[in-house]
Amino acid sequence: MGVSGSTWSRARWLLLAAGPLGAALAVGTCREPARREPQDLTAPVVGIVFPVQATGAYDRDSNGLVDVEVEWSDSSGKVDPATVRVVCAGCVPGVAADTNLAQGWRVVRLDSAGAVFEETIPLLMRAGQRLLGVSVADTAGNRSIGATVSFTLPPGDYHRTIDLQYPAQWPQERGVDLAITPDGRKGFAPFENGHVAVFDPDGVQPTHYITNVSNSIVGSFISIDSGTGLAYVAGGGWETAGFTVLDTRTEQVVRSVAVGMGAVSVWQSGSRVFAGEACTNGRVFVYDKATLAQLGRVEVGASSTGSVCPNTIVFALTRDGRLGWAGIVMGGIFSFDAVNYTLLRRYDLFPPEGDGVYNSVSSMVMAGDRWLYVAEDQLGLEEFDTGTGRATARYPSDPRAYALVKKLSLSPDGRLLFASTDPATAVGDHQSAPLLFTVPGLQIRHRFPTRPGIVDGVAFHPDGKRVFQMAGFAVQVYLVRPE
């Protein structure tokens, strides 16, 4: 029997009002039942290809950072790469145990077959044995059972080299010191001929050179004021008239200051600038940092037994600015009143004491206002207790041995000491390796791989995770992992 027009119109209106569901029900008798896809209840399978637990290998590209390669598959072929999680409980200081490191590490590859990640400096893992876990989910929400791998990280490693691309048309004088700005964004490396390389600590080459630091000729030193961003650069011979003030923000020379017979070194602390005079009696000139007016000078009166130029070349100062320490060529170290600018005492560190041979000091840093660390030219490293006036530890421990320690840098927290050595003049590989000590006590925490180049200035990055070492025409960068 047919359907009248009015009856068909009413049925059509009911279908539209009911929407798709009503329409489906109304015509259900005319179609086969819809087939349901089987529910996906199977999680993806995950495997860690690298690091290799059996061998302990964790670094593929020799930059000291952990490389992680993961492979995965799913029975339905629907792995969701965006859901990958890489976790390592207690591995990164200040980071929660369930933090997904994959969101902060460098992504090398991420696709349906797997992923490759590389550890980054901000999320640098602690030294020691580490257990890394990786998981991933599929598009149905099934998360894999985490795959794990165990490996051991050393306290430090060679990271990379920044090529300073020194122009061939300039005199081929090496870079001799360096400093990193307090914000960690710029590095400055003075060369023997007065040029200063500016580089990005995270980069691979210099940004440019400052070429008008005319008074910095030989053995340059640089010291940066964390408050103002001003850098003070001095040379190292009677040719140098004094020191130059650079603004590290604008990278422009602000002013040059003449120092007595010439400045061999410069160092700033608090409201003052200290400059060691060249080739006189080792005297120290003191200047007001704000006006650069001379405040006074310390008359050392050094008696040199082996040098025609008893230059004062390194400084350290207590945090209250009242007591200073300095090293002098062939004159050991001396303390001075940093308020009244008077000499207090000279010290003969290397045994036997009292033999009149004071030797030269190449670097000096102070930790906690008490412990003074002194690198003695060709004789090693000494820990000096300023409270008792005596040496308390030494590297090498045997006083008959020696090591060519060149420059020192203290970590921002004052707990670690980095000591550079000179592979060009060292005897044996054990003497040419840069060293990391825990202080006080001078216990060796790590011996870094030896790199080529004549080594000079060193500086910790403000993050405490990297050390920059000047080596000829390049800067070598080392990783220092948190404890």
The CATH 2.130.10.10 domain(s) of the chain lie at 157-480
H or E element: which one contains 20? helix 5-26
Cβ distance 454 to 472 under 8 Å?
yes
| Measured torsion, CA atoms of residues 351, 353, 355, 358, in degrees rounded to the nearest 10 | 80
On the question of pLDDT at 14 being above 80, the answer is no
Q: Hey, what are 35's tokens? A: 């087939």
On whether the 45-153 domain is CATH 2.60.40.10, my answer is: yes
On whether the 157-480 domain is CATH 2.130.10.10, my answer is: yes
Cβ distance 382 to 406 under 8 Å?
no
Find the range with the poorest average confidence among 1-10, 375-384, 455-464: 1-10
pLDDT digits (tens, 9 = 90+) for 65-116: 999 999 999 988 899 999 999 999 999 999 999 999 999 999 999 999 999 9
pLDDT digits (tens, 9 = 90+) for 104-156: 999 999 999 999 999 999 999 999 999 999 999 999 999 999 899 999 999 99
Start-to-end C-alpha separation, the chain: 90
List, as one string, the DSSP characters of 95-130.
S-TT--GGGTSEEEEEETTEEEEE--STTPPPSEEE
pLDDT value at residue 285:
95
Backbone angles phi, psi at 221, to 5 degrees: -125, 150
Cβ distance 408 to 414 under 8 Å?
no
- Among 416, 424, 402, 419, CA closest to 371: 416
In the three-class reduction of DSSP (H, G, I as helix; E, B as strand; rest coil), residue 22 is classed as helix
Largest CA distance in the chain: 130
Report the predicted TM-score, pTM, of the whole model to 2 decimal places: 0.87
Q: Residues 474-483: what's their mean pLDDT?
A: 95
Backbone angles phi, psi at 10, to 5 degrees: -65, -40
Residue whose entry in the numeric block shows the structure tokens 């002194």: 374
